[in-house]
Amino acid sequence: MEPLNLTLPGGIAVSGIQNKPTSSQVTSPTSRPLIVAFHGGSYECHYYDADAQHTAKILSDTYGIPFISLDRPDYGGTSSVLPVPEGSSFPIEEGKRMHEHIFPALWTQHGVPNGCSCLIILCHSLGSMAGIVAAALHSEEDKPSYPLGGLIFSGLADKHQSGLDSPFPEPNVRSYLFRYPVQGKDSMMFRPGTVDPSILDQSERLNAPIPLPEMTSLYEYWIHNWKQDWAHRVRVPVMYALPGQDCFFESTTENARQTMAAFINSSRVEGGLILGAPHCMELSHWSQGWYARCFGFALECAAYAALSAQGRGQW
């Protein structure tokens, strides 16, 4: 994929990568989604374009769907959301920035020129917190500045595994960032037999320092408040996946069901437990299967968005 850089009002910088495929006869211009993805904690935008096999580019090219992968705040060249205002939290501020500034700019610059009918959020792990916040904020606007067609997320769930919330690591990059040692990180993210050994050659390149305020916000705010503060406010379709061998959350069918059940006002909710998959499905043997589901869901949402724009759609 090619580099992407934005400069938004207020001097906000956003970095990432993009794939702009040539038009495909497979999809109609009126039903083409713009997919905007953002990574989880301790990764960066190339998570969605790790190598020739583990990439969203394959299906982006196949279906002629523009795909953008962003560096989230405090990653790559994207501006920080710190300091977090009193009474708020890291994912709240991140989700606000996505909804108020980044998504409108991407829609204007990439969605409209490519004839897309809607924007689809695709996010992983800690990045899913901001995705849910942004989708909730969008659902409450009478005249949103971009058409959100759906939310896809994985690697985040209602119940986390015990013992993961303490002790938090000390910063080892600047005053508030922590970089995981690659070997230990890989053994945590991937279970034996779940990945092609060649993907581990990309681990150092994909490894990025995680903002500790982001890490602590999961346990200090998100797991206690996400359902009553955010999930019930989402109205767009939701597709969800809980990896069957997740390293952070309880990998059970019941946990997946409880997570999906939180979206009580969403027009459509589907998903479940992905048997055997590790936390980072996009880098595993499940990569292209998961991407196929994501792009299929996005195409369905885009078709409905195009129909709704004609005043004919209803869930």
Query: Residue 20 sits in which domain range?
Result: 2-309
pLDDT of amino acid 315: 46
Would you call 267 exposed, middle or buried from its count of C-beta atoms within 10 A (0-12, 13-18, 19+)? middle
In the numeric block, which tokens belong to residue 283? 């880098």
pLDDT of amino acid 26: 60
Task: Tell me which DSSP letter residue 154 carries.
Answer: E
- Structural domain contains residue 220: yes
With a CB cutoff of 8 Å and minimum separation 6, the contacts of 289 are none
- Structural domain contains residue 103: yes
Between CA 131 and CA 136, with CA 133 as vertex, the angle to 5 degrees is 110
- Structural domain contains residue 274: yes
pLDDT of amino acid 308: 87
Domain containing 93 — which CATH number? 3.40.50.1820
pLDDT per residue, tens digit, the chain (315 aa), is: 999 999 999 899 999 999 999 766 566 556 899 999 999 999 999 999 999 999 999 999 999 999 999 999 999 999 999 999 999 999 999 999 999 999 999 999 999 999 999 999 999 999 999 999 999 999 999 999 999 999 999 999 999 987 666 667 888 888 899 999 999 999 999 999 999 999 999 999 999 999 999 999 999 999 999 999 999 999 999 999 999 999 999 999 999 999 999 999 999 999 999 999 999 999 999 999 999 999 999 999 999 999 988 876 554
CA–CA distance, 240 with 234 (Å, rounded to integer)? 13
- Structural domain contains residue 181: yes
- Structural domain contains residue 315: no
- Structural domain contains residue 314: no
Check if the beta carbon of residue 269 is closer than 8 Å to that of residue 263: yes
Number of domains in the chain: 1
Between the CA of residue 151 and those of 228, 237, 242, 269, what are the distances in Å? 18, 6, 15, 10
pLDDT of amino acid 172: 85
pTM of the full structure: 0.95
- Structural domain contains residue 239: yes
- Structural domain contains residue 280: yes
